[in-house]
Chain A
């Protein structure tokens, strides 16, 4: 892999923590604005649902809560693997890895994609899937693959950030990393998100 591509997938190897933190916070704020504008809620760390009445404060709280949750779990694991692991490096990895996911949500707001998605939702609700045009199905297939690619990119970024921050080298470290992400998803979905809805 060329040096440029390596930097794209592992900026944590090269850029100082201050630059990464600035990029990460800007991304977080842009994603908050995007979710608020698009009426999308993060009902899971890696799951999005429509919610038309989402407030700006609500979108901001969600973003802060899932970021801190993932950061706390990965920092705890990082410290257990290598006591020299710094929280700032793990926070940067958590913030930066959301960039592809935010891009994905932005793409979903393109009018022709939104129209195709609305048509699919309508067809599912009315049980008239045969009414969908070939173009709509093609768009939905391509968008699904694109979203999958963005998700893979996000996870690759998080793995690389975690590896650089904690100096993880053994297979067990990556197994525990996956377990921490699953745990974050469970805690957020079952405990924190329902709690956020009550405010």
Chain B
């Protein structure tokens, strides 16, 4: 199931207000901000995971994705720019 990160009503970022233990049903309430990684789209999260699994090699990732090195590097640069804008 996809984790919603934006409010379906007003489109503002959502926050975590409740966490629950699956074993003993303990519930924790609060106002937690989502980690940066979870604020990214599913494709962007997958991209970061692939980058990690490829030992940080853009060349290896481009080989696996069947695209050229500069295309993959450009994709990476776009994401870096987006993440920089998201961080205060």
Q: A residues engaging B (CB < 8 A)?
A: 12-17, 20, 82, 84, 86, 89, 164-165, 167
Contact = CB atoms under 8 A, between A and B. Distances in A.
B68 interface: yes
B71 A16 contact: no
Given A84-B77, A167-B77, A15 B68 contact: yes
A17 B69 contact: yes
Interface in B36-88: 62-63, 66-71, 73-74, 77
Contacts, number: 34
Contacts of B73: 84, 167
Interface of B: 62-63, 66-71, 73-74, 77
B interface: dominant SS: helix
Contact of A13 (B63, B68, B77): B68
Nearest to A82: B77
Contact of A164 (B66, B70, B77): B70
A13 B73 CA distance: 11
Contacts of B77: 82, 84, 167
Contact of B67 (A13, A20, A86, A167): A13
Contact of B74 (A17, A20, A164): A164
A12 B68 contact: yes
A125 to B, nearest CB: 49
A86 B62 CA distance: 16
A7 to B, nearest CB: 11
A41 B16 CA distance: 70
- Give the top 5 A-B pairs by smallest Cβ distance, nearest first: A167-B74, A13-B71, A164-B70, A89-B70, A165-B70
9 contacts: A13-B68, A16-B62, A16-B68, A17-B68, A82-B77, A84-B77, A86-B70, A89-B69, A164-B74
